[in-house]
């Protein structure tokens, strides 16, 4: 049997948040919302990165749900996407249907 090694930050993603969702669920929802907002704005990952003052690889990792995002980066992304920070956590399918 192969031993599984994991870093605490990766293992912590499966921790429940108290809402029945895991950190991984929230990260995936945030990733999808950011990508949907970026595409709706007609921006490439590179374009969003330039507007937000971050690297395009950071945008790619965020959209894949691979990277944690600081409050500062969330504010920069929201500003670049002309939206409120809380909108970066919205379910893009629900938001699209409500429009």
Domain count, the chain: 1
Determine contact, residues 43/72, Cβ cutoff 8 Å: no
In a domain, 46, yes or no: yes
From 69, 4, 56, select the one nearest 30 (Cα to Cα): 69
Q: Which range of residues forms the domain containing residue 60? A: 22-98
Residue 71 lies in a domain: yes
> What percentage of the chain carries pLDDT values higher than 90?
57
Q: Are 76 and 21 in contact (CB under 8 A)?
A: no
The CATH number that applies at residue 29 is 1.10.260.40
Report pLDDT for 94: 54
Residue 10 lies in a domain: no
pLDDT for position 19: 63
* Angle 13-76-29 from CA coordinates, rounded to 5°: 35
| pLDDT band at residue 4 under the 50/70/90 scheme | very low
Neighbours of 5 (CB within 10 A): 6
Element (H, E) at 79: helix 71-80
Q: Average pLDDT, stretch 54-74?
A: 94
């Amino acid at each position: 049997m192969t031993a599984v090694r994991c870093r605490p930050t990766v293992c912590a993603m499966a921790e429940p948040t108290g809402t029945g969702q895991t950190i991984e669920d929230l990260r995936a929802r945030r990733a999808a919302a950011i990508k949907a907002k970026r595409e709706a704005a007609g921006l490439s990952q590179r374009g969003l990165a330039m507007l937000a003052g971050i690297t395009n690889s950071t945008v790619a990792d965020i959209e894949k749900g691979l990277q944690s995002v600081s409050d500062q980066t969330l504010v920069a992304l929201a500003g670049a996407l002309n939206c409120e920070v809380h909108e970066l956590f919205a379910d893009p399918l629900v938001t699209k249907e409500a429009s």
